[in-house]
Chains A and B, each alone.
Chain A
């Protein structure tokens, strides 16, 4: 009978130890995952992608001045060519 009691005490000890260790181990994994997410989470990547996507439509907005300058230059050039 005493040996059964001894075994039960051992089992109880393993139960407490086991649960603590499982929580500790998986808890460390959570920290690891947070670390991974802080470095490699895709939230940064789509932001950059949308930034680029926004940059594309803004280009035409910038363009009119440039277009005007370039077309003026071309006109001048053609006019000069036409003269000679």
Chain B
């Protein structure tokens, strides 16, 4: 009988708390979104499963000695996982469209307004009783508007580690929701004629330009924004490996095996932060709302900047490509292409939208560096 009691005391059923059951439910919702709905499955699946594992009573996944504990401390607390992902993203990114049309950097810059406006919004939310975001918390939340998962995770681990779970989940969920969130904003801010504008074909870009570009970005970052060099440096390394053409083996590994392995660990480590006491709070609700606001403002700012460029260039720029300024590569560029096709079935904006799209990645890395330099 004693043996039976001892066994019972060890079962999950005897030890479940409401919070753990709820968080397992959250994990299952993420799994559902990933598997049945195809929302960013590469990240939401490991994050969802990590959330389930982290909330198993008596299993000790997130206590010292548990695998999620070590994954978090080795990979996230140190910032290594998001930086390795950035290396892979750099190796995956083709800057050709941006080099051919440098003006699109302005669109990538405009879309970062979503980040800084949300920083203000998060602080303003402190007026509502129950919210107490510090400036650091607000900055970590606001970076969701950069629509760049690794950047958001990197900044959150540096500025507000206790909010990491909610921020990562919000960032990746909204990235998956780009095709739903962006089009209404894009249509509301543009006329049908503007959406139908065809853009000139991009010029060819030489190999030398592509090789010098990452070095130039790194050089400028070293001179003016050293706080952003971890992100920008890894990104430029990956891109140089790709464009130099002499280390195809390394470039391929960074683009495939390395980024895949790190994605698994990153997802699990983020999932481990989805524990009841850290996630089931009023703040999480605030973060989810602010994330959506950040995203929408970023999209709107990008489109408005593109409208300005359109006016200045005498109608040569399609304002839709401004929406791609909120990174989320390549989803945002595809959305711009799709909305453009609706207005004019022969209008292919994809390549033109890739310029602001990759500019957005640089822009959010720069914004993250600025926030780190000011608040870190």
A binding-site residues for B, Cβ under 8 Å: 4, 7-8, 10-12, 14-15, 17-19, 21-23, 25-30, 32-34, 36-37, 40-43, 45-46
Contact = CB atoms under 8 A, between A and B. Distances in A.
Interface of B: 98-99, 102-103, 105-106, 108-109, 112-113, 115-117, 119-120, 122-124, 126-127, 135, 138-139, 203-206, 208-209, 212-213, 216-217, 220, 224-225, 359, 362-363, 366-367, 370-371, 374-375
Summarize A's interface: helix, strand, loop or mixed.
helix
A35 to B, nearest CB: 9
Given A22-B370, A42-B206, A12 B216 contact: no
A23 B109 contact: yes
A41 B208 CA distance: 8
A20 to B, nearest CB: 10
B126 A7 contact: yes
Summarize B's interface: helix, strand, loop or mixed.
helix
Given A8-B124, A18-B119, A28-B224, 5 more contacts: A4-B127, A7-B123, A14-B374, A18-B112, A29-B362
Contacts of B363: 22, 26
Given A18-B115, A26-B363, A36-B212, A11 B135 contact: yes
Contacts of B375: 14
Contacts of A4: 123, 126-127
A8 B135 CA distance: 9
A27 B105 CA distance: 7
